[in-house]
Amino acid sequence: MRTIFLLLIIGMPVTAYLQEVKKYSRQKDRISIQLSEGTMQIIPISDKAIRVQWKKDSLREIKELVFTEKVPAPAMSFSDNGSELKIGTGTMSLIINKRSGTIHFNDAAGKTFLSEKPGGRSLTPSSVMGQPCYVAEQRFHSPEDEFLFGLGQFQDGHYNLRNISRKLLQVNSQIAIPFLLSSKGYGILWHQYGLTWYNPTDQLIALHKRTAPSATGAEAEVTTTSGSQRINQQQVLHEGQFNVEKEGEYILMLDLGNMDNRHLLTIDGQAVIDQSNLWLPPAVSTTIRLKEGVHSVQVVCKSDNTPALSWKAVADETTFRSPEAGMLDYIVFHGNDTDEIIADYRKLSGNVPMLPLWAFGFWQCRERYTSGEHLVRTVKEFRKRKLPLDVIVQDWQYWGKYGWGVPQFDETNYPDPAGFIGQLHELHAKFSLSVWENIDKRSAVAKEYLQKDLYIPNSPWIDIYNPETQRTHWQVLNRNLFSYGVDSWWMDATEPENDALAGKQTYFGLGNFYRLTYPLLVSKAVYEGQRTTNPGKRVTILTRSAFPGQQRYGTINWSGDIGWNWDTYKRQIVAGLNFSITGMPYWTTDIGGFFRPGPGQYTNKEYSDILTRWFQWGAFSPVFRIHGYQTETEPWKYGDTVEANMRSMMNLRYRLLPYLYSEAWQVTRNGSTIMRPLLMDFREDTLAINQPYEYMFGRSMLVAPVTEPGVTQWKVYLPRWKGWYDFHTGKRYNGGQTVTAHAPQDIIPVFVKAGSIIPLAEVMQYTGEKNMDTLELRIYKGADGQFNLYEDEGDGYNYEKGKYSLIPFKWNDKKQQLTIGRREGTFTGLLSKRVFNIKDAEKPGMIKSILYNGNLIITDLK
């Protein structure tokens, strides 16, 4: 099917897609334009966002899953100068050429920041399972100096996504978010719910399967210029050739069809893609420079997969293509910076609720705890060893005799759920529990779903698109789990696993048209159900997949069942940065990898090195969580040195809670992002934007994780700014340079911007152990700065009613003067008096201690 489709696309003349404007009409909130083919709607949806919809006939998407917020339509200007139509919002405008139908977008000063390519818009008739649809495609100009980020979480290791090809599909370890952000000051949401190709490669390379390796289990070798590559009896080798007419840069896309355990592509004997793991997404791409002429390729994959290898020359364009669409639909956002773009996107698609304070502490997880007593015993050991912890997680199979995925404790090992959860609460730990949506149909719990016909036909997955399924599912979770005291949900496999919607009929219709959206509806069901049942407990959902709009449901995502080596670890950093910039602020990984190196991991020094470095990075991730397959992940399992290093990072994380929780408020209140690619704060610094393994943690802290083994020093680029301070030593550096940071195994390089004010708490074993009435305030001189210390009840939704407080701090660098403003707001538990110990970050010791009672204080720090 893919081969036929690609051949059809290749044969279509571009000029056929030029669309002349025939007539138009102005309506209250939009301009409706009749083109030579079909009708286009230009809809300003905010001052900073304009929506473009084009349809040819009655086919269209009638469900609005993303833009759920009722936002007043902005004031719209309109003009026709004879050759162009112009629709404006005040901060941006859309101009459409009346002869070609081509669109470009301008800022308020009239400068073009995004343009469609002439003839680059198309709707090609198609069908899927007998149902009519279109192949919707849009191509945009992408100048050579543009940087592109987003599209969700991928394992391909790509940071800048310009001239990268991707298959946007939800699978384990891959999250497809069709939202792209540009260094040119715009964002695009490609508004499709089905499969989407980003920069599709249409020139297929014929592959021929070579004789499979021996079924006896013997391994074969693929010889490459970089060494022999071994393939086992479950893998096969495919070979082929292709010809390029001139030397240049080319994109290669390898699509294996299904999940695989090996991505190996060689070109002329050189391995250009090489990754192994028990689970890998179906598709992966790379760019490579090729000389003119014929090139030979080799592909290794599982014997039951059918690989498709395709290519194209790189071009100054960005393309979205959805093969199963009802219409063409995209939204362009524009802002002075990425924060403005993301804030506007969230204003339309749903704000991010506050996570509870405890969610920013440490999450202890493993595969798996085997009983309620095991969970309690583990938390007691954490407390005994002075290892801070706020959450302990129960992975799958607690259901035991009741059947796969059944949300019910097997009394054999969990005889008193309320009892052991109560013990965890007495130990000041929260309890998170794994829940699946493929509930064993033979179980008693499933009867309620079956009686109401709430499963997807011929599928183990419940039909979460049905509102009745959402209500029933929450009722079951509440009755069997939440009522016992469960604090948080681990919604696993919400893709759903293995692209399970393709070819299925759902409540909404054919699953192909909605195959990216299942996690959105699962999160909705749990969020709305819990908020209705107990509004005093903030909804906290850890989930493996996501879709635009999901940020409104209290979700945290993680990067799935990944491996453990250094290459995999590095890939997680860029995956997290690109995911976070799509508007999803809370993200984490399995620290140390899900699939680990077996029993030897506990004493293996090489693994201790990567585990320690990964743990350090986890402490500077939005959510701090460890996990591992068939592994005892507790710190003490890895020896005294590793445990001590982990304790040091845990202590630092808990000291940073006032800073982190205040940054979380900026996410909720002002649309900010915690894990920030350097594009977000240093858009004019090309060297900064080019750093794939550095990022801002909040607005003040630059984090540069160590991503190589056995090092004690680490190169860090400090963006152009008025100054930077080593967080650990206080040493000051100028911006715009690369420095060598001290990085022994117990230190992660962290630098703080001049002009920052960082509040630090005392070390604690869990959030709430200490009331934080005494805070250290570190002042990083060299620029003016400000910080708002946010506090609330730590849980519940009273903050939405104004029950919170803000203490504003301002630093005047010229006067060397700190102003602590009057406290704003109040809430139950507010500290009426507190002590701020002021410290010059560059100097040892405290400068002065200030007793604060909520009133204005101005103090000199000369």
* Catalytic entry in 107, 137, 492, 791: 492
Q: Report yes or no: 103 and 94 within 8 Å, Cβ to Cβ.
A: yes
- Told to judge if 561 belongs to the known catalytic residues of this protein, a careful annotator would answer yes
Q: Report yes or no: 138 and 102 within 8 Å, Cβ to Cβ.
A: no
* Catalytic entry in 495, 499, 590, 609: 495
What is the C-alpha to C-alpha distance for residues 350 and 550, in angstroms, rounded to an integer?
Answer: 8
Could you give the angle at which helices 566-580 and 605-619 cross, rounded to 10 degrees? 10
DSSP 406: -
DSSP 154-165: -SS--SS-TT--
- Told to judge if 495 belongs to the known catalytic residues of this protein, a careful annotator would answer yes
Q: Report yes or no: 418 and 424 within 8 Å, Cβ to Cβ.
A: no
What is the C-alpha to C-alpha distance for residues 136 and 168, in angstroms, rounded to an integer?
Answer: 14
Question: What residue type is 848 in one-letter code?
Answer: K
Place of tokens 């407390």: 383
* Cα 133 to the center of its chain, rounded Å: 30
What is the C-alpha to C-alpha distance for residues 100 and 81, in angstroms, rounded to an integer?
Answer: 15
What is the C-alpha to C-alpha distance for residues 435 and 493, in angstroms, rounded to an integer?
Answer: 9
What is the C-alpha to C-alpha distance for residues 372 and 452, in angstroms, rounded to an integer?
Answer: 33
The count of other CB atoms within 10 Å of the CB of residue 10 is 10
Q: Which bin fits 402, alpha (ψ -120 to 50), beta or left (φ > 0)? A: alpha
The count of other CB atoms within 10 Å of the CB of residue 803 is 17
What is the C-alpha to C-alpha distance for residues 554 and 539, in angstroms, rounded to an integer?
Answer: 6
DSSP 355: P
What is the C-alpha to C-alpha distance for residues 72 and 91, in angstroms, rounded to an integer?
Answer: 16
DSSP 171-230: BTTBEEEEEEEETTSEEEEE--SS-EEES---EEE--EEPPPPPTTS--EEEEETTEEEE
Q: Report yes or no: 356 and 793 within 8 Å, Cβ to Cβ.
A: no
Dihedral sign of CA atoms 382, 388, 390, 393 in order: negative
What is the C-alpha to C-alpha distance for residues 450 and 462, in angstroms, rounded to an integer?
Answer: 9
* Catalytic entry in 561, 634, 694, 791: 561
DSSP 599: G
- Told to judge if 492 belongs to the known catalytic residues of this protein, a careful annotator would answer yes
User: What is the set of active-site residues?
Assistant: 492, 495, 561
